[in-house]
Amino acid sequence: MPDPLVDAALDDCKQRMAQAVEHTKDEFAGIRTGRAAPALVEKLKVDYYGAEVPLQQLAGVHVPEARLLVITPYDKGSLKAIERAIQSSDLGVNPNNDGTVVRLVFPPLTEERRKELVKVAHHKAEDGRVAVRNVRRATRKDLEALEKDGDISSDELERVEKDLDKLTHDHTGEIDRLLAHKEQELLGG
- Is pTM beyond 0.85? Reply is no
Judge contact between 42 and 22, C-beta under 8 A. Answer: no
- Alpha-carbon dihedral angle through residues 173, 177, 180, 185, given to the nearest 10 degrees: -160
Would you say residue 189 has pLDDT above 60?
Answer: no
Judge contact between 140 and 161, C-beta under 8 A. Answer: yes
Strand partners, 47: 52
pLDDT tens-digit series, residues 52-76: 989 889 999 998 888 888 999 998 8
> Span 39-105: which CATH code?
3.30.1360.40
- Look up the CATH architecture of domain 4-29+110-188: Orthogonal Bundle (1.10)
The amino acid that residue 150 corresponds to is G
pLDDT tens-digit series, residues 111-156: 888 888 899 899 999 999 999 999 999 999 999 998 888 888 888 8
Task: Write down the domain spans for the chain.
Answer: 4-29+110-188, 39-105
pLDDT, the chain, mean? 88
Q: Give pLDDT, residue 117.
A: 85
Would you say residue 166 has pLDDT above 90?
Answer: yes
From the CB of residue 163, how many other CB atoms can be counted at a distance below 10 Å?
13
